[in-house]
């Protein structure tokens, strides 16, 4: 099985999983009466069937190994105990987390801040800045002030209706960490559960890496993906723009950020304060 087919398989499995979740939610809502075919749901088998592939395509040693990795990753994700925790428990767990190497070099754990119950917007960066590491405050310093101004311009604020977090919770230097790295795979369930619990109306990714992690994309180009709407878990609208740190280095990016923010504001029906 080539990489492209494997990626399509994994995306299809994810889509089936999400559909199943929606059916469960709907089933709860109408108190029974609907069920996904079969009690032992095999998303891999269903995905194979839809794609017209036979199980044997996995049977070379390499392919079998790949399949095990994919299946294991999916199962780990579903069985991860963090996905059953409430907000307080999850935060406490993160603060004592030792699931990856960053736990040994971190200055602290910046789990998340701001409004954590049904905020209008969840802002997701990738990792803490040097200033955040020093201050222990997410999106602090000059780039944080920039972000606050952006939020104010569309009638939002971190104090009232915005939740802020990073993909990587430990505050430590990790600029070269790739989306598919072990660190990200270990930390991603925190973000996944934060979204499940917080239920934002929309998600704003700052920089391309947080978008890649959230949407399972690889090696994207921010110019092509900023300002477009994606849907996480088929229900949360996601839009990406430049990270304030990048804008501080290149002020000409401000124009693009403002265009993305206006698009987001129109989608959420927010007042645009700055013209």
| Long-range interactions of 135-138: CB distance < 8 A, separation 24+ | 136/107, 136/108, 136/110, 136/171, 137/110, 137/113, 138/110, 138/112, 138/113, 138/164, 138/165, 138/166
Check binding of 103 to ligand SF4 (CB under 6 A): yes
- Number of chain residues interacting with ligand SF4 (CB under 6 A): 14
Output the smallest distance, CB 127 to ligand SF4, in A: 9
Which range of residues in 43-51, 73-81, 134-142, 162-170 is near ligand SF4 by CB under 6 A? Answer: 162-170
Check binding of 97 to ligand SF4 (CB under 6 A): yes
Bridge partners, residue 165, by sequence:
124
Of positions 99, 123, 191, 270, contacts ligand SF4 by CB under 6 A: 99
How far from each other are the two terminal CA atoms of the chain, in whole angstroms?
A: 52
Contact 28, 19 (CB under 8 A): no
Check binding of 48 to ligand SF4 (CB under 6 A): no
| Angle between the N-to-C axes of helices 3-30 and 61-79, in degrees from 0 to 180, rounded to the nearest 10 | 30
Output the smallest distance, CB 102 to ligand SF4, in A: 4
Rg (CA), the chain: 20
Q: Cβ closer to ligand SF4: 179 or 227?
A: 179
Check binding of 181 to ligand SF4 (CB under 6 A): no
Check binding of 257 to ligand SF4 (CB under 6 A): no
Output the smallest distance, CB 172 to ligand SF4, in A: 7
Chain mean position to CA 20: 20
Of positions 90, 120, 170, 238, contacts ligand SF4 by CB under 6 A: 170
Residue 60: half-sphere exposure toward Cβ, Cα within 13 Å: 5
Check binding of 100 to ligand SF4 (CB under 6 A): yes
Contact 200, 120 (CB under 8 A): yes
Check binding of 85 to ligand SF4 (CB under 6 A): no
> How far is 15 from 19, CA to CA, in rounded Å?
6
Check binding of 210 to ligand SF4 (CB under 6 A): no
Contact residues toward ligand SF4 (CB under 6 A) are 94, 97-100, 102-103, 109, 168-170, 183, 186-187
């Amino acid at each position: 099985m080539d990489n492209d087919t494997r990626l399509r398989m994994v995306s299809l499995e994810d889509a089936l999983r999400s559909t199943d979740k929606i059916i469960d939610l709907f089933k709860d809502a109408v108190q029974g009466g609907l069920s996904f075919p079969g009690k032992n749901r095999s998303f891999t088998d269903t995905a194979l069937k839809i794609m017209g592939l036979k199980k044997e395509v996995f049977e070379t040693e390499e392919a079998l190994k790949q399949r095990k990795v994919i299946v294991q990753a999916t199962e780990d994700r579903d069985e991860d105990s963090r996905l059953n925790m409430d907000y307080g428990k999850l935060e406490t767990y993160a603060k004592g987390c030792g699931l990856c190497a960053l736990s040994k070099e971190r200055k602290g754990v910046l789990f998340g801040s701001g409004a954590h119950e049904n905020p209008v917007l969840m802002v997701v960066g990738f990792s803490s800045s040097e200033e955040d590491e020093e201050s222990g405050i997410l999106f602090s310093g000059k780039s944080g002030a920039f972000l606050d101004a952006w939020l104010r311009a569309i009638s939002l604020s971190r104090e009232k209706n915005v939740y802020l977090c990073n993909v990587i919770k430990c505050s430590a230097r990790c600029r070269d960490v790739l989306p598919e790295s072990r660190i990200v795979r270990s930390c991603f369930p925190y973000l996944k559960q934060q979204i499940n619990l917080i239920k934002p109306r929309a998600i704003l990714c700052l920089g391309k890496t947080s978008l890649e992690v959230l949407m399972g994309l690889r090696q994207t180009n921010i110019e092509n993906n900023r300002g477009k709407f994606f849907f996480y878990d088929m229900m949360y609208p996601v839009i990406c723009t430049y990270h304030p740190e990048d804008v501080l280095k290149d002020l000409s990016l401000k124009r693009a950020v403002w265009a993305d923010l206006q698009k987001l504001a129109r989608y959420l029906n927010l007042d645009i304060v700055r013209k």
